Structure formats: structure tokens, C-alpha cells
Structure 1
Amino acid sequence: MTTIRSLFATRLYQATLGPIDADELRASCYSVAEDDDAGNDWCEANDFPGYTSYASLTDLPWRFPIFEDVVKALDKHVAEFAVDLEFDLDGRKLVMEDIWINILPEGGIHTSHIHPHSVISGTTYVKMPEGASALKLEDPRSQMMMAAPARKPDAREEMKQFVYVRPVVGDVLMWESWLRHEVPMNMSEDDRISVSFNYRWE
């Protein structure tokens, strides 16, 4: 008898964030971007397409109450995901490390990266116009598959080298922070807006 099993799963969590006012959240993102001189200067100095508050602001929940509501909703999702991942937290908690805004204009990309020093990372989606890029996730074993042939185009999702996830406004996606991911070029003429976050073990 032959048995084939899947081992060492990579988990992706997808859910609706919760009862957050999408219009208010979108307007708040634009308001922060307009007023954040340090963030805009950093984006310009680093050739970052569009806007991110990652390098400039650490107090979004204090600035706008709706971000405090977002954090409360995310805390619940992270706790649920941690149960699925079967983490032994040893009486400690996963707490938010940082949260930031991303406004990606037409032609903008976020290159492939991971989130070091965090446990769970993710994004909730604020504006996803038609043609906005999906999230691209990479098989974490890719660097060790030096002599492997390519996968068939119709391979099962769990066998693919890259998986593209196309969320809608109000979705939250989460993964373990070591999972390499990127946002391919935004082909929409409109902005793609998301709010990303990291959780650490405290």
C-alpha cells in the first residue's frame, strides 16, 4: 500500500475584518498620507511608489479612532489564527508590534520580502479597484529546490511555487512572518490601499 501525506503546512488565514466603516477607513488613510510630511519625504528619498507610513508613524490608533477599532478586530483574528497554528504561547501573548498604511498608485509595486522579528504578519484591504494587483505568496522552500522541474500550470494550489490571492475590500489576510510575499505591479489607474501589520510574541 502506498501512502502520500502533506507535511510542514504553510497556513494562510483569510476572513472579513469586521464591522469597520470602509469609507471612513479609506478617508483616514488619505488624510494621514496628506499630513505625513516625514513619510512622504521618506518615500521620495527611497523611490518608494506612492505612500507608506511604515517609516514615519507609530501611533495610527491614537491619531484616528477607526484605527483603534481595526486593531481590536485584528487582535481577535490573530488569537484565532494562533489557535489554528497550534502555538504554545507559554502564558504570553501575541501583541501588535506595528501597523501602517500603504497607498500604491498605478505602476507601483512592493517587492518580495519577509517581516523579520515578528510572528504573524498580514494586511487588511481598504481599496481594491478593478485591476489592482493580488498578493503573491512564495513557497518558502523555493531556495532549496535547485534541481526541481517546474510545476504543471494546473498543479494543485498546495503544490504551486507561487500562489496569488485576490482579496476584496474588508478582507484580512494573515500568515507567519517568515513567508515571503510581494505585491506585483498595480495595473489599475486608481490607488490600491491596504493597512499592514505585525504581531510579536510578548
Structure 2
Amino acid sequence: MSQIESLFVTRLYRARLSEHGKSIDPQELEASCYSIAEDDEAGQEWCENNDYPGYTSYASLTDLPWRFPIFADIVEALDQHVANFAKDLDFDLDGRALKLEDLWINILPEGGMHASHIHPHSVISGTTYVSMPEGTSALKLEDPRSAMMMAAPIRVKEARRELKPFIYMKPDVGDVLLWESWLRHEVPMNMAEEERISVSFNYRWE
């Protein structure tokens, strides 16, 4: 009798940030993001020089948890979420923990997008969502085998979820998504008139 099974699974973690640590007030977090963006002249200059849509603190600030206590609360919660995900992934961490490498703000205006990319040198990456206006873009995740499907036909529109070449995840405000850092992903163009705000991060193995 024939047998078919799924191999080499790609895992995606989704939870409420508030499941661990202190409850995060989304309005306070949004106000903090805007306050930092307004004061971060180096970040504004980097975005302008690199034609980056909106604002990111990725290239300018490395101490958000020190600047605003609410980001320290976020890290406290993320540490527990990442530990849970690492356990699910059956990682052998050899008695060491995954540690936060960097944490940054993204403010994406109407028409802005983040092109497809990975996060080299990290183990787990992710995002928690601060503002997701109606009509804004979901997170687009790409099948990591795509580059090796040299002569494969396209999938039918009704393909099972685990066989689709792309998966779109539309998180809610307060959600956290985690994935392994090699997983290619992008944020398609924001079609909403309001700004899409998120806080992204990387964890490394120490």
C-alpha cells in the first residue's frame, strides 16, 4: 500500500505577546515608536539616503530597551516566546540560551514595502505588531525550496496550505510571529492610508 508523508517541515510560531511577561499597552507602544522616530535624526537620515520607505531604527539605534521601559517589557516577553519556539524546534542548545541580538522599529507608510530578504547570522527572527490598519499588507513567507524547483509545474490554486509557494500571514495588533532566520519573507506594499507599525528582532545562539 502506498504511503506519502511530509518531510523537512518549516515551523511558524504565532502567539499573543502578552501570553508571557507584562501586558503591553498598544497605544503606549505606538506613541513610543513615533516619539523615537521623531527624535532619531540618524535614523531619518539613513532612511532618506537609502530610499527606505517610512522609518526604521535598524541602522541607528541599538538600545531601545534602555531608552523606553516598554521595550524592556517586550524583550522580557520575547525571551520566553523564543525559548518556547526553540523547544518546539528540538534545538540542542548545549546548555546555552538564544539571546536577543537586535530589536528595531518599522513604520511603513502608504505605498511602502520591505523587499524579500532573510536574516543571516541569526537563529530565530520575528516581529510583534503595533498598528495594523484595515487594508494593510500581511507578512509574505516564501517556500525555502523555491530556488531548487527548477522544472516543477506551478501549484494549483487550491493546493494544500503546506504545498503553497507563498503563505500570507495577517497578524493582529499584539501578535508575535517567530520563524527561523533563513526563511525568506517580505512585506508587500502597504495599501492602507495609515501607517503600518511593527517591532522586529533577531535572536542569536551564544
Using the size of structure 2 for normalisation, the TM-score is 0.98
Gaps of 5+ in 2: none
User: Are 2:110 and 1:81 equivalent residues in the alignment?
Assistant: no
1:53 equivalent in structure 2: 57
Q: Deviations over 1:18-71 (max 9, x none)?
A: 021111100000000000000000000000000000000000000000000000
TM-align CA RMSD: 0.4
Q: What percentage of residue pairs aligned between the two structures are identical?
A: 76
Q: 1:137 aligns with which of 141, 147, 150?
A: 141
Write out aligned runs for 1:17-166 (5 A): 17-18=17-18, 19-166=23-170
Aligned to 2:14: 14
How far residue 122 of structure 1 moved from its aligned partner, in angstroms, is: 0.2
**One-letter amino acid matched to 1:123:** T
Structure-1 separation of matches of 2:34 and 2:136: 18
Deviating above 4 A after TM superposition, structure 1's stretches of 4 or more consecutive aligned residues are none
Aligned residue pairs total 202
Give deviations 1:93-121, integer Å, cap 9, x for gaps: 10000000000000000000000000000
Alignment-derived partner of residue 171 in structure 2? 167
Give how far 1:154 is off.
1.1
Mapped partners of 2:133, 2:158: distance in 1? 27
Where does the alignment leave 5 or more consecutive residues of structure 1 unmatched?
Answer: none
What TM-score results when the alignment is normalised by the length of structure 1?
1.00
Kindly provide the amino acid, as one letter, of the partner of residue 165 in structure 1.
M
CA distance in 1 between counterparts of 2:6 and 2:101 reads: 32
Equivalent-residue separation in structure 1 for 2:156 and 2:36 (angstroms)? 44
